[in-house]
Structure formats: structure tokens, C-alpha cells
């Protein structure tokens, strides 16, 4: 069976965009692969953070991954699998500074800033370790992370040529198309957890009243008439609402006004979130169960990654 691997950085609270664009397709594909889904808490340390907030985000995210139906997968916290950090150092000893200097995250967020954490510079090596430890043959990746997976391939090839065949060279693939959800207040930007405090971002745990208020304030346009509710490149706000409605199982048939469209979107989103929130409430009342699931997942990850790390250490001379 093929192996699927994905890690989510707990940089913010999970959103409707995360659910429709990534989490729901991940849950749907569990029967077709051996799935490993982790929370990349080590990656969250590359920039300034509040430890209490990080712990809170991790607790919420662990329960939500179960609440959205990922209970057939191996779920784990990255920090509970030491091989991630251990192999990352060996890959740092394989990478070149010129390669890391070209990484877009460092170029945009850290280059030339004295307070930049060293981990922001080296975290592509940790991301490479995340992938190579699980011998994933294919890595679905979006455009924003493609450069890092290309570096992963380069490091694996270089390590194998220099020290012997240890790593599987992953192929970059295009992930299955999930719904592309944009912010309600700015339909030119994706609805992501890094903007979770924005008025146009619907969180997975937003109450129906909050969802209603956010959708009611969604950007549309000044069109009027019976054909105003239609998708189009010149109507990004309306197109976004129509996409959300369709992704949540609703229909725009017969809708001719923006008010009716927003009511339909609200009803569809609330219905989509209701089972997730119900299951989350049950899990929040049983934190020991959530912890046990992630502890078991981490234990399996340690078993899976130990031979890869041992082979890499032996090859490099340790």
C-alpha cells in the first residue's frame, strides 16, 4: 500500500478553508493508502511564539483532526518522534548554505533581519527529514512548498551518492483538487489559519451566529438583476461564495439576490461544521483519549522511522 504523509504547522486555528481544501480530501483517501498525518510543532518554533498559545493550538488541532474523521490514519506530534530532529541535523550536514539562502521563506521573512531565528534558515532540512523518514515515494505539494520538496530530492540524491543508498527519492505530485476557499473579506487571498483572526475567515469552531455574521459581511459587488448571482473572473466575491456553497453540498439554483446567496451559504456552512463541532465537543470532554491516539501514533512513527535514521547514521559514519 502506498504511503501518504502530511504535516500541519500549528500556526493558527483551523478554518473552513483547511477543512474543504485539505482535511476532507485527506479523510476521504484514508482507505487507499497508509496515512501518516502529523502536527509540525517543531516548525512552529521558527518564529516568535507564545508557548501557552502554542500548547493551546496543539490541543485544539489534535482534537479537530480526529473530529474531521482522520481516525483511520496514524496521527502524531512531530516533537514526539525524535528522529525528525535527529535526521534534520544529518541533512544540515548535507545541505549547502547557497541552497538555504535561496529558500523563499527565508528570503521573504528572515534575510537581513538580525533577530531571525537560525531555525527559520535551517527548517527546510527539517522538512526534508519529515519526508525522507517515511520513505514516501510521492509527495503531493502545493506551489508554496514545491521548492522545499525539490530541495528534499536534491539532499536525498546527494546523500545517497556520497554515503550509499539510504533514502527513497520522492516524486513531486499535484495533490487532489480540494475546494479553493478564499477569504470572505478579501476574495483574492486564501482562507488560511495564519489569518485566523481576520473577519473574513470562518473557523471550524465558529458558532452558527458567528458564521452568519461573517458571511453577511462577505464582499460581493454592485451588480443587480436576475443574473447577478453568477461566477466570473470579474466577480471574485460572488464566485467565492458560490464555490463555498457547492463545496458544502448546497445549490445556487433559483438564487437571484446576494442576500439569498449569503443565507444559503450560511446554512450550508453551518450544516458542514455541525458534525465536526459535535464530535469535537465529545473529544474535548475526553482529552485522555485524544492523547492516547497521538501517543500510539507517535509510537508507530518511532518504529517506522528508526530503521531509516539508523541507516543514515551508519552511512554517514556514526
Q: Which residues are catalytic?
A: 109, 190, 193
| Distance, CA of 262 to CA of 255 (rounded, Å) | 10
In order, the DSSP letters of the chain are --EEEEEE--SS--BHHHIIIIIHHHHHTGGGSEEEEEE-TTGGGGS---HHHHHHHHHHHHHHHHHTT-TTSEEEEGGG-THHHHHHHHHHTTS-HHHHHT-HHHHHHTTT-TT--HHHHHHHHHHHHHHHTTT-SEEE--GGGHHHHHHHHHHHHHHHHHH-S-S--PEEEPPP-----B-SS-TTSB--GGGTTSTT--BTT--HHHHHHHHHT----S--STT-S---TT-HHHHHHHHHHHHTT---TT--SHHHHHHHHHHHHHHHHHHHHHHHHHHHT-HHHHHHHHHHHHHHHHHHHHHHHHHHHHHHT-
Which candidate, 14, 13, 12, 16, places its Cα nearest to that of 272?
A: 16
Which candidate, 138, 147, 150, places its Cα nearest to that of 174?
A: 138
C-alpha cell at 20: 474543504
Question: CB atoms < 10 A from the CB of 258, how many?
Answer: 18
157, 124 contact by CB (below 8 A): no
Amino acid at each position: 500500500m502506498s504511503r501518504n504523509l502530511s504535516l500541519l504547522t500549528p500556526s493558527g486555528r483551523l478554518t473552513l478553508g483547511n477543512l474543504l481544501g485539505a482535511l476532507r480530501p485527506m479523510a476521504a483517501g484514508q482507505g487507499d493508502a497508509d496515512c501518516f498525518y502529523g502536527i509540525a510543532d517543531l516548525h512552529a518554533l521558527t518564529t516568535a511564539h507564545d508557548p501557552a498559545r502554542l500548547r493551546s493550538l496543539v490541543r485544539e488541532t489534535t482534537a479537530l483532526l480526529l473530529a474531521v474523521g482522520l481516525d483511520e490514519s496514524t496521527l502524531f506530534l512531530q516533537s514526539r518522534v525524535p528522529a525528525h530532529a535527529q535526521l534534520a541535523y544529518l541533512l544540515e550536514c548535507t545541505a549547502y548554505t547557497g541552497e538555504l539562502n535561496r529558500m523563499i521563506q527565508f528570503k521573504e521573512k528572515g534575510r537581513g533581519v538580525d533577530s531571525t531565528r537560525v531555525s527559520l534558515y535551517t527548517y527546510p532540512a527539517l522538512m526534508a527529514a519529515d519526508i525522507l523518514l517515511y520513505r514516501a515515494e510521492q509527495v503531493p505539494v502545493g506551489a508554496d512548498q514545491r521548492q522545499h520538496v525539490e530541495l528534499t530530492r536534491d539532499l536525498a540524491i546527494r546523500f545517497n551518492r556520497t554515503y550509499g543508498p539510504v533514502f527513497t527519492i520522492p516524486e513531486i505530485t499535484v495533490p487532489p483538487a480540494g475546494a479553493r476557499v478564499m477569504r470572505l473579506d478579501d476574495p483574492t487571498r486564501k482562507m488560511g489559519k495564519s489569518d485566523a483572526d481576520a473577519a473574513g475567515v470562518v473557523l471550524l469552531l465558529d458558532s452558527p451566529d458567528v458564521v452568519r455574521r461573517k458571511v453577511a459581511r462577505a464582499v460581493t459587488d454592485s451588480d443587480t438583476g436576475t443574473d447577478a448571482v453568477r461566477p466570473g473572473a470579474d466577480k471574485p466575491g460572488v464566485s467565492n461564495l458560490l464555490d463555498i456553497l457547492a463545496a458544502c453540498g448546497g445549490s445556487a439554483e433559483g438564487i437571484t439576490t446576494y442576500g439569498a446567496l449569503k443565507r444559503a451559504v450560511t446554512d450550508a456552512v453551518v450544516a458542514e461544521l455541525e458534525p465536526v463541532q459535535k464530535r469535537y465537543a465529545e473529544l474535548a470532554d475526553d482529552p485522555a483519549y485524544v492523547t492516547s491516539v497521538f501517543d500510539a501514533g507517535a509510537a508507530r512513527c518511532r518504529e517506522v522511522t528508526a530503521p531509516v535514521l539508523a541507516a543514515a547514521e551508519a552511512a554517514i559514519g556514526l
